[in-house]
Structure 1
Amino acid sequence: MDARLDLFTNPVLGKFIKHLNTAARGAMDAGVPLSTLELLELRVSQINGCAVCVDMHSKDAAHHGETAVRINLVAVWREATVFTEEERAALALAEAGTRIADAAGGVPDDVWQTAAKYYTEEQLGALVAAIAGINTWNRINVITQQPAGDYVPGQWG
């Protein structure tokens, strides 16, 4: 499969991606565990069918010490016993924030309130930013048909 556009040499997308990456770094500094962010990004990418992001975030999660069991079970996290209540709250928020068209009014109050039990206001902002960011990446990659499978952890930063 060949990509429709080269994301990094396209003048418009190249600038957009630079700003997107800068914005994403702020979410990393708010105290949400890296493992939670990786699992969240993996789950959103699964929902959106973004092969390149599923490849990247499953490999990055493993590279940062995440177990194969948890990586494999994130697709069915509700039925799995290997996730903490905090992680479940983040995953529920990620799913609701990704599927905003599925619920009248967007993210249900109970999903937000559960996340707010476990995360500070700064951390909630980081979760929202991470959810918005990975959804943006998913859409860029799916629209331009970026191929997956060759990602090496650390190659993009």
Structure 2
Amino acid sequence: MDARLNVFGNETAGKFLKRIVSAGSVVSDSTLPAATQELVKIRASQINGCGFCTDMHTKEAAAAGESSVRLNLVAAWREATVFTEAERAALELTEQGTRIADAAGGVTDEAWANAAKHYDEEQLAALVSLIALINAFNRLNVIVRQPAGDYRPGQFA
């Protein structure tokens, strides 16, 4: 299957991608744990049905040493015992921030307060920014039907 639009070879899409990748480096350089960052990217990508980002971030997480057990359980994190309380709070915030239209008012005060128990203000800012960022990447890839399965870790480094 081919993408509807070659976002990597298109001038406008290329400029857009360059800017959101740059925004992502701000989050990557934050003190938000790298493992949490990958879990957030994977979970939002699963919810949004973005095969390209799910493929990319599961492979990047595995290359960084994440266990296959944890990667396989991201979609069922509520029932899984392999995630920390902080990771669970981040995953809940991710789900609510990704499914923002599903609930009146978006993210609940409870989900926010739980995340704030585990992350300082700078980490919360990074987490919120990351959730917004991965949702932008997901939407771009889903709209153009970017194929999944061929990503290699470090491919875009």
Query: What is the alpha-carbon distance in structure 2 between the residues aligned to residue 56 and residue 140 of structure 1?
Result: 14
Question: Are 1:63 and 2:63 counterparts?
Answer: yes
Q: 1:44 maps to what in 2?
A: 44
Query: What is the alpha-carbon distance in structure 2 between the residues aligned to residue 63 and residue 81 of structure 1?
Result: 22
Can you list the C-alpha shifts for 1:25-77, whole angstroms capped at 9, x where unaligned?
10112211111110110010000000001100110110000000000000000
Can you list the C-alpha shifts for 1:93-150, whole angstroms capped at 9, x where unaligned?
0000000001111100100010001101110010011101100000000000100100
Query: Residues 1-157 of structure 1: matches in 2 within 5 Å?
Result: 1-157=1-157
In structure 2, stretches of 5+ residues that fail to align are none
Q: Which piece of structure 1 moves more, 94-103 or 8-17? A: 8-17
Query: What is the alpha-carbon distance in structure 1 between the residues aligned to residue 142 and residue 42 of structure 2?
Result: 15
**TM-score normalized with structure 1 length:** 0.98
SS at structure 2 position matched to 1:78: coil
| Counterpart residue type for residue 114 of structure 2 | T
- Root mean square deviation of aligned Cα: 0.6
**TM-fit CA distance, 1:10:** 1.1
**TM-fit CA distance, 1:9:** 1.6
SS at structure 1 position matched to 2:78: helix
In structure 1, stretches of 5+ residues that fail to align are none
SS at structure 1 position matched to 2:107: coil
Identity, % of aligned pairs? 62
| Counterpart residue type for residue 73 of structure 2 | L
Q: Which runs of 4+ in 1 moved over 2 A?
A: none
Query: What is the alpha-carbon distance in structure 1 between the residues aligned to residue 108 and residue 12 of structure 2?
Result: 35
Q: Which piece of structure 1 moves more, 3-12 or 92-101? A: 3-12
SS at structure 1 position matched to 2:6: coil
